[in-house]
Chains A and B, each alone.
Chain A
Amino acid sequence: MTSALAMSQPAISEKVPGLKAQLRRAERLRKLKAIALVAPLAIFLVIAFVIPISNMLWRSVDNSEVMQVMPETARLLTEWDGKDLPSEAVFSVFAQELRDSRTGGGLGRIGRRLNYEDPTFRTLLTQTLRTLPATTEKTWSETLQSIHPRWSETDTWLALQRAAPATTDRYLLAALDLQRGSDGSIERIDENQRVYQQVFVRTLVIAGGVTLICLLMGFPLAYLLATLPTSQSNLLMIFVLLPFWTSLLVRTAAWIVLLQSGGLVNTTLMTLGLIESPLQLVFNRIGVFFAMVHILLPFMILPLYSVMKGISPVYQRAATSLGAHPFAAFWQIYVPQTLSGVAAGTILVFIMAIGYYITPALVGGPSDQMVSYFVAYYTNTTNNWGMAAALGTFLLIATLLLYLVYHKLVNQKQLIRN
């Protein structure tokens, strides 16, 4: 639109150098200024947000390893029917491309990828490469099969075939405890390997629980902060903000010190004679809730406080003077006015909680780990970025869906109240 304006501009100003053209020019300048002001943020968002996230989404289906390192083998294998052993042409191209893969790091990439199909594949490739001749007098199929009997099994080649297409759904399926069966249909994985469905539910339960507790604890405190005289509320505010300024790791470690078996809480309770043996308060779900609520509470209090500060007390007073029970006045007049703060606080806390990693890792047990823990495991420990991306993708989708539902709910409520 800007370019169209720029083209028509001179023609108009020549013929009618009037107010209209001047207005239009001013308008255009204003627009350019606005764009210039927004541009840094927009560019930043594209570079730091849109591109990495698209990249992550792409990685969850990316299967290009074999295709890039062994293009001919991949092409021939996709045409193979998978019944008998592949033809001599496949064997010969594969032997050639396997030898070439040693330069430029290609071998590492396909080794890692093929190990997901079968954990013994990397060893097979190493052993094969160790004795693979540059030329052979026999056929390549005989040569490879004499190096390792695994090359005479169709399963070995089927694994290669599965890794050959440019994209795969294996990571996305695996992130939901699913896999492709031998006939290509989707099935659940073996029961003693299933973990991620439960992890997703657990992540939502923990994040939801933390949000609810934060709301229940944060609302009265924010109310108190907003209604107290300034001198007192300022002091209280410092107590709210003080932990906010402390490092997350320090606060997490502090909870461990407080809650562990020989910690302050347990020794106090035992000295008072309330309990006989120490309670298990940390390295389980209780510890996770304690630490996460403590860390996230300010994110609930601050938006609530800022909204409550702007609510005039006269409406509530008017309601009581008209005969409403004080609680009814509070619930029907005051609370609806805080809804935007509640909405902002809960969504902020929930979204932050859903990605928590280091706190549950330190104060939780093995059954309290959330999705991010597994994303970190696959990213840092095993370099399986496909799996990490697939888990991240589902977490993103779940969050967006929840946000949409939530947005609808809050908007409806506000409409009804209004």
Chain B
Amino acid sequence: MLSRTADNLYWIARNMERAETAARLLEVGARLSLLPTADGYRTDWDSLLRASGNAVGFAQKYGAATEENIENYLFFDRDNPNSVASCLTRARENGRIVRTALTTQVWDALNTAFQELRQLEAQPRAGQEMSKLTEWVTRHTAMLRGAIDATLLRNDGYNLLNIGYYLERGDSTARLMDVKYYVLLPRAEYVGSGLDNDQWSMLLRAMSAHRAFHWAYGGEITAAKIAHFLILNPQCPRSLITCVAGLNNHLSRLAKLYGRETQAQESAARLLSDLENQSVERIFDEGLHEFLTRFVGEAVALGNVIYNSYLSGDMN
């Protein structure tokens, strides 16, 4: 497969997953704004921006971090490369470039999302309920995912799409957790308080994982349980370990298909074994924020290795 084709497939997945992350961030923000904060009832929207890695771009364009501005920025703003609109548009463009590597169903799913986005953009902003918009995003990302799973040939392209999905999703879970932990609750005395748990609970809802969590753990929500669920539980579809295991699976299928291993398999295996040897206690000892920051860094490095091994076109 052409490296450029591979790159576009990989980025279809990453861009769609990134659109979903933006939607989920908004969801977290919207839900958190309904809760009392440490300082009263005003949510610190700023934190959301810092977690999404867009604080500077936002400040330059909008100045004040109001709810409306942030919604605009994270959903519609084309100047924000990580907004829902930017990501969906890019994913569709990636798809257009590799149209013949996709099935009609996959293309339809991508194209329909894009066409509906254009309609949404044409409507007046006021009156568009944020929860409806985020639901719209998750519906379309799920539809694309379904079309991929149901209709695509299980070839190198399929594996590259999945590699993109898992890498981006792992990154997204880590970032969403960090919004909650690092930004919203900087002071140690709040850990374990009722407020803390309410916020964790909101996070689970935003990740559509609230009920799954209860099925898996039952009882009271504790930080340790949540950290275990979102980081180390292979049953959780968005946990870091699920994502890294998925990466390993598809990378090794790729290696088998091509009859050749690269540095990517080695790096991914190392990341997985690190997680398998982790415990919640050790993570809390290291500091959740520190752990998550380290994970995000390692995921970025793995992304670079994957790029050099399969996508850059400079391999020998």
Our verdict on whether A and B bind, yes or no, reads: no
Q: Which residues of A contact B (CB under 8 A)?
A: none
